[in-house]
Amino acid sequence: MAWEPCTSSTIRIGDCCTPRTRQDGASMLSGLLAKAGRAARHRPRRARRRGKQVTRTRGEEIAPVDQVVLLNEHGEACGTQDKTAAHHQDTPLHLAFSCYLFNSQDQFLLTRRADSKKTWPGVWTNSCCGHPGLGEDMVTAVRRRLRQELGVSATDVTLILPTFRYRARMDDGMLENEMCPVFRAWTDSEPAPDPMETAETHWVDWEPFVQQVRSGDRAVSPWCSMQITALSHCGVTPKLWPRGDETQLPAACHVASGR
């Protein structure tokens, strides 16, 4: 499940290119946002539902459309694509995030993905995953996704692993291919998960959970397993994990958040 570099052909959507400087990256994202705005003016009227884009045609509501931000090998935004259409046997590199949620007892929220999920259905994993929208601040995206998936409000959303990236393939050939910064967050709320996203949740003690994953006694998603290894190097106490360096985030995150 080790990742391998993507070729430009796997990420080329429309006018995809590789800027040479961060200023070029900023110009590219500005162009993409402007292009998206122009396209929106020519599409049917849209509404918002739970952070997703919903198309309305003649009074009828169509299924929400999630977009992923496509990336080049430098982590710069080079386009967008519908999430469902983007995930297949040759999934292009795109931007995502993972979050590890803790409560006041320092317990970690372990979740099981809904059985209807296209990728790794029914698998136990970290608290929450998601995809920021084009131009959306990463912390804002994490908070949004925690509300959508788990019905919780989070405090102290902190970047921990800014450079995490992985590539993993399911038995049926489905590929996941993400630059996926990892965040830690805290909540005093009990989860009320959306069953279309999350089948089960359990609060667990962190250190025994890590030991079970690393020994192979507990099966989790491939990205969660790799993240657990990386987080173990941050220390055994999650509240003492050092804050990640935001300047090491993928360039698309810098432009999106203005950091």
AA identity, residue 214: R
Could you tell me the maximum CA-CA distance found in the chain, to the nearest angstrom? 56
Please tell me the distance from the alpha carbon of residue 46 to that of residue 241, in angstroms, as a whole number.
Answer: 41
Residues that are catalytic: 129, 178
- The residues pairing with 167 across neighbouring beta strands, listed in sequence order, are 177
AA identity, residue 19: P
Helix (H, G, I), strand (E, B) or coil at 114: coil
Please tell me the distance from the alpha carbon of residue 87 to that of residue 93, in angstroms, as a whole number.
Answer: 10
Q: If we measure between CA atoms, which residue out of 157, 159, 135 comes closest to residue 145? A: 157
- The residues pairing with 179 across neighbouring beta strands, listed in sequence order, are 95, 165
